[in-house]
Each structure stands twice: as C-alpha cells, then as structure tokens.
Amino acid sequence: MKKMILPGIICMPLKKNLKGVPSDWREVKCPKCGRSCYERPLPKGCDHMEFENALCTECALKEGKKLHKKWKEQVGRENMKKE
C-alpha cells in the first residue's frame, strides 16, 4: 500500500525523560538535535501513514511554535486584506 504522508510533526519522547519503555518502541535519533528518543508504533490501521516530520518532543515544541507564528502572520495578513 502506498504510504500516506500526514502534514505535521509527530513527537517522539526523549529517552532521557523515560525509564523503561514498551518493547515495541524503537529507539531512534532525533533528526534535528541527534538525541536519543523513541518512535512509537502507530495504532492499528495507521500502518500506512507517516508524518511529514518526526522530531523529539523538545524540537517538536520549538517547530510547533515557529509554525504557529507563521500561521499567525498568515492570518494577520489575510485579515488586513479584508479591511
């Protein structure tokens, strides 16, 4: 089946914040900061889906803030057009 790419960021919990994880969690490195974190298996039925970005929780938070700022700028601009 073709993979479906979902827009957005999936958060991978950082290893340093966890003590013991389920055996089906895969240890990976955050592509942004390189720290060890865990990729959690997607729920049943979502196997063919993939998120655009997978980052550790801390990087995801930072990216999320950036996206939010961009989005706010976009919305602000559109509101100005209407007036």
- Restricted to residues 62-81, the positions that interact with Zn ion (CB under 5 A) are none
Q: Determine which helix (DSSP H) or strand (DSSP E) holds 66, and give its type and residue range.
A: helix 57-82
CA 1 to CA 11: how far, in whole Å? 24
In this complex, which beta carbon is closest to Zn ion, that of residue 31 or of residue 76? 31
- Whether 50 and 2 have beta carbons less than 8 Å apart is answered as no
| Stretch near Zn ion under the rule CB under 5 A, chosen from 2-10, 15-23, 56-64, 66-74 | 56-64
Q: Is 30 in the site for Zn ion (CB under 5 A)?
A: yes
Which of 28, 32, 40, 51 binds Zn ion (CB under 5 A)? It is 32
